[in-house]
Chain A
Amino acid sequence: DAGVTQTPRHEVAEKGQTIILKCEPVSGHNDLFWYRQTKIQGLELLSYFRSKSLMEDGGAFKDRFKAEMLNSSFSTLKIQPTEPKDSAVYLCASSFGTNNYAEQFFGPGTRLTVL
């Protein structure tokens, strides 16, 4: 069974650019999460979809971050415009279940560097 796939694995952007990160969840999973990981803040939730409906849009991240689920097997995270402080690892995770404490399966992440 394929796990969560994320592309690209590494991305370098200039300040002000628009970048799009991609995620394919585990087949059959109905929950999808986007997180940002930094050493200072740890894992911060950016967006949470349940059966393609947006449950959580990350509050403080609303301005320049937009996640979409185009279908049940594909999601994107757009950052527009990028800033140097956005440099981090972006993780996508999926889970299956009707509650919010099911095991989450994570992808390998995309390491973003903004110059």
Chain B
Amino acid sequence: QQKVQQSPESLSVPEGGMASLNCTSSDRNFQYFWWYRQHSGEGPKALMSIFSDGDKKEGRFTAHLNKASLHVSLHIRDSQPSDSALYFCAASSNNYAQGLTFGLGTRVSVFP
């Protein structure tokens, strides 16, 4: 079973609309969360991190973390065609030997 689960698997959003992505962890040791984005033919690139409960906003992107339920979400407002990509949630614990554990990703398609 994946320790980091993402939903939905894919999402279609109209240009200018809001995209909402979800991520849940089954490992209570995970304390630190990242969102990464991968465009076709490229490696993933970090979008933002969130380590504390609550919201964190960076431009059009807002992440929300609830440590009690181990749930993280990412909201993209005013979606642009360039936001079409594969989005990964990644988590890590305090065990420095483990690195990041990634979810399977959510494919976002922004249509005109």
Contact = CB atoms under 8 A, between A and B. Distances in A.
Interface of A: 4, 31, 33, 41-43, 45, 48, 50, 55-56, 91, 93, 99-101, 103-109
B9 to A, nearest CB: 11
B95 interface: yes
Interface of B: 2, 31-32, 34, 41-46, 49, 51, 88, 92-105
Contacts, number: 62
Contacts of B51: 101
A53 B54 CA distance: 36
A101 B41 contact: no
Contact of B105 (A42, A50, A91): A42
B97 A55 contact: yes
A104 to B, nearest CB: 6
B100 A104 contact: yes
Contacts of B32: 101
Of the listed residues B93, B99, B103, the one surrounded by the most CB atoms of chain A closer than 10 A to its CB is B99
Contacts of A55: 96-97, 99
